[in-house]
């Protein structure tokens, strides 16, 4: 039993080391310059461990994004308002958009890496597009729900896709890589606030 616990602890430690090494490499290199071999060397694990754990670069980048999104998910469901429960939908929506920009800006090349992985990594037949990833689904569901609460007359599902799509666009990713996260957050608020405040109907 003790041996099994030790193996699980080792696996968890390796996973944390691999994700941390990937994030550090993304801070200084373009996504296409990073190989699984480099990640393994930086994490101090064997190359086979990285491939066994994450499958390919796409799987590794998606896992890193999901890991970094966990804190945001916890804040949405159990944190203090306005990001967490208890604030009006308008305030929660604006706080959520700010938080998404902050998550992406702190991991400057991560979404660029996801985009690169999507276009260069063959996808298994049973794996859907990036929009099917649980992080995107969770963010889209939360955003569309808040839009529907605030403006039930609008197409909340489509608007949520449009807003999240801006974060994935190449010009915005370049802006975030240049440290312009606050500029993007301010522009996003300027775009969304009149829409939220317009009279229903």
- In terms of domains, do 143 and 169 share one? yes
Residue 68 confidence (pLDDT): 77
- Give the end of a domain, one of 55, 71, 97: 55
- In terms of domains, do 90 and 46 share one? no
Percent of the chain with pLDDT over 90: 47
Q: Indicate if the pLDDT at residue 181 is higher than 70.
A: yes
Give the CATH number, domain containing residue 145: 1.10.357
Domain region containing 132: 56-197
Residue 99 confidence (pLDDT): 93
Give the CATH number, domain containing residue 33: 1.10.10.60
Task: Report if pTM > 0.75.
Answer: no
- Read off the pLDDT band of 185 (50, 70, 90): very high
- In terms of domains, do 132 and 180 share one? yes
- In terms of domains, do 33 and 67 share one? no
- In terms of domains, do 17 and 83 share one? no
- In terms of domains, do 149 and 74 share one? yes
Q: How many domains, the chain?
A: 2
DSSP string, the chain: -HHHHHHHHHHHHHHHHHHHHHHHHHHHS-GGG--HHHHHHHHTS-HHHHHHHHSSHHHHHHHHHHHHHHHHHHHHHHS-TTTSTTS-HHHHHHHHHHHHHHHHHHTTTHHHHHHHHHHHSPPPTT---GGGSHHHHHHHHHHHHHHHHH-TTS-HHHHHHHHHHHHHSHHHHHHHHTT-HHHHHHHHHHHHHHHHHSPP-
Residue 128 confidence (pLDDT): 44
Residue 167 confidence (pLDDT): 82
Q: Indicate if the pLDDT at residue 97 is higher than 60.
A: yes
- Read off the pLDDT band of 83 (50, 70, 90): very high
- In terms of domains, do 46 and 60 share one? no
- In terms of domains, do 179 and 142 share one? yes
- In terms of domains, do 82 and 125 share one? yes
- In terms of domains, do 39 and 70 share one? no
- Give the end of a domain, one of 40, 55, 70: 55
- In terms of domains, do 51 and 63 share one? no
Q: 6-64: per-residue pLDDT in tens?
A: 668 888 899 999 999 988 888 777 767 889 999 999 999 999 999 999 998 888 887 88
- In terms of domains, do 83 and 157 share one? yes
Residue 137 confidence (pLDDT): 87
Residue 110 confidence (pLDDT): 63
- Give the end of a domain, one of 55, 75, 97: 55
């Amino acid at each position: 039993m003790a041996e099994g616990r030790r193996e699980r602890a080792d696996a968890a430690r390796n996973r944390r080391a691999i994700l941390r090494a990937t994030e550090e490499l993304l801070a200084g290199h373009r996504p296409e310059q990073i190989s699984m071999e480099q990640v393994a060397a930086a994490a101090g694990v064997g190359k086979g461990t990285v491939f066994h754990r994450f499958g390919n670069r796409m799987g590794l980048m998606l896992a890193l994004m999901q890991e970094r999104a966990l804190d945001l998910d916890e804040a949405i469901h159990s944190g203090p308002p306005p990001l967490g429960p208890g604030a009006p939908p308008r305030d929660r929506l604006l706080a959520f958009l700010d938080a998404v920009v902050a998550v992406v800006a702190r991991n400057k090349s991560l979404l660029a890496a996801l985009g690169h992985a999507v276009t260069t990594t063959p996808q298994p037949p049973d794996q859907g597009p990036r929009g099917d990833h649980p992080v995107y689904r969770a963010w889209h569901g939360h955003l569309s729900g808040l839009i529907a609460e605030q403006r039930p007359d609008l197409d909340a599902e489509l608007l949520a896709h449009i807003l999240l799509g801006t974060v994935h666009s190449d010009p915005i990713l370049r802006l975030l890589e240049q440290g312009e996260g606050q500029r993007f957050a301010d522009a996003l608020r300027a775009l969304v606030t009149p829409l939220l405040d317009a009279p229903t109907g």
